[in-house]
């Protein structure tokens, strides 16, 4: 019973994490629409995450197995913090400014496709078209991407007629006078690519540094320094650093504690247990949750295409998870067969040694002669 629950624990953790993402997307959208600077917000978020997770990492460090961080591991963590936190969140919040929380969540479904393609190219994910599990992963990824595109592009009858105008204080929007929706989608696509690369980087990082809590603390700390440098460069006005409302404080603390500190730990742990593709495949759930909550609380536009896309997203998610589970079963069967063959070979060698140690003539036969 305990073993079965341990197998389900990564999936349960990822489902709960998608709920956190949905709540965080709504809070971030509401706070940014009221004028909070995204650069300052990223810095506060990582600072709060560092303050929360660092004591936990320090207290559990002595009890955990000693994991040394060399120069190579530190550089990997630094690059992962820069790509997966600074670039990822900067592009995400710019896209959230120019688009909407529903579109931002729909674009996040590109993470499984980019992660799967990248992992397959570098040989981290096995693809065998003769196996049904690989075909299921490919078709499931196509369903997820198709559902995400339909949620963002397909119109049809409006389910909700309210509309939120895009803000004018976006850094990208001020420098480029182009269509806000298209630019927002491009920023969100860049953010999803950064997140996919972050998931891929977790494999070599966790192999060299298996202490996930300490790794999360280092990630938050380095991201805080990077975000602070960028924020001080772009935000010279001290008024932008003022958290003037309860919404800003709630957004920073919730995103810092759950969105960065706990999220990094859960993501790294799940990647070490099931791989980056399995972790990325749960992002479609966030789309459905965010769309429902955005419709109810932020009164964002929701079309019939969103419902069709959500259905395709859920279908693709379960198809991919089925393919991953079948692939895991095949690996377990192959490992068991290899262990059985090795045990049989060892037993045969032992029996041969015993036979060779036996004398050819027994004492009884010698007496008869």
Residue 223 covered by a domain:
yes
Range of the domain at 176: 2-127+164-303
Would 149 be classed as within a structural domain? no
Looking at the domain assignment, is residue 199 inside a domain? Answer: yes
> Which tens digit of pLDDT belongs to each residue from 100-114?
777 777 777 777 777
Which residue has 């399995």 as its token pair?
Answer: 278
Q: Give a yes or no: residue 122 inside a domain.
A: yes
CB atoms within 10 A of CB 258: 20
Region 160-184 average pLDDT:
53
Confirm whether 136 is domain-assigned: no
What is the structure's pLDDT at 162?
A: 45
Is the pLDDT reported for residue 166 higher than 50? Answer: no
Query: What is the rounded CA–CA span in Å between residue 290 and residue 282?
Result: 13
What is residue 113's predicted lDDT score, i.e. its pLDDT? 72
pLDDT digits (tens, 9 = 90+) for 55-96: 888 877 655 455 567 888 899 999 999 998 889 988 888 887
234 domain-assigned? yes
Number of domains in the chain: 1
Mean pLDDT, the chain, rounded, equals: 75
Residue 141 in domain = no
Q: Tokens at residue 34, please? A: 């009221």
* Nearest C-alpha neighbor of 64 from the set 76, 72, 56: 56
Whether 187 has a pLDDT exceeding 70, the answer reads: yes
Q: Which tens digit of pLDDT belongs to each residue from 299-329?
A: 666 667 767 777 777 787 778 777 777 777 7
**Residue 46 domain-assigned?**
yes
Alpha helices in the chain (DSSP H): 2-33, 38-61, 71-81, 88-98, 101-107, 110-121, 132-153, 171-175, 180-208, 212-234, 246-254, 263-274, 276-280, 283-293, 304-357, 363-368
pLDDT band at 222 (very low <50, low <70, confident <90, very high): very high
């Amino acid at each position: 019973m305990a073993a079965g629950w341990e197998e389900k624990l990564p999936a349960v953790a990822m489902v709960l994490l998608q709920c956190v993402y949905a709540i965080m997307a709504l809070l971030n959208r509401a706070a940014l629409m009221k004028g909070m600077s995204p650069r300052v917000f990223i810095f506060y978020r990582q600072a709060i995450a560092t303050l929360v997770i660092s004591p936990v990492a320090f207290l559990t460090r002595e009890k955990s197995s000693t994991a040394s961080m060399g120069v190579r591991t530190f550089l990997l963590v630094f690059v992962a913090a820069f790509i997966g936190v600074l670039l990822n969140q900067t592009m995400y919040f710019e896209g959230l400014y120019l688009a909407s929380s529903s579109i931002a969540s729909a674009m996040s479904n590109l993470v499984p496709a980019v992660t799967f393609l990248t992992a397959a190219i570098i040989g981290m994910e096995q693809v065998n078209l003769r196996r049904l599990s690989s075909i299921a992963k490919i078709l499931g990824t196509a369903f997820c991407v198709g559902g995400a595109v339909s949620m963002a592009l397909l119109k049809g009858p409006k389910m909700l007629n309210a509309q939120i105008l895009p803000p004018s204080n976006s850094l990208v929007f001020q420098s480029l006078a182009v269509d806000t929706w298209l630019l927002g989608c491009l920023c969100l696509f860049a953010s999803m690519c950064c997140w996919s690369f972050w998931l891929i980087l977790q494999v070599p990082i966790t192999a060299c540094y298996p202490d996930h809590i300490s790794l999360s603390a280092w990630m938050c700390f380095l991201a805080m320094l990077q975000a602070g440098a960028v924020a001080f460069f772009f935000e010279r006005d001290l008024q932008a650093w003022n958290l003037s409302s309860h919404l800003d404080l709630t957004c920073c603390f919730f995103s810092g504690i759950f969105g960065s500190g706990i999220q990094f730990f859960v993501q790294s742990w799940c990647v070490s247990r099931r791989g980056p593709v399995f972790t990325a495949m749960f992002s479609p759930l966030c789309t459905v949750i965010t769309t429902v909550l955005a419709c109810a609380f932020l009164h964002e536009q929701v079309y019939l295409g969103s419902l069709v896309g959500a259905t395709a997203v859920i279908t693709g998610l379960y198809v991919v998870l089925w393919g991953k589970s079948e692939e895991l079963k095949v690996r377990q069967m192959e490992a068991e067969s290899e262990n059985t063959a090795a045990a049989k070979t060892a037993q045969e060698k032992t029996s041969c040694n015993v036979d060779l140690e036996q004398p050819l003539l027994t004492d009884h036969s010698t007496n008869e002669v």
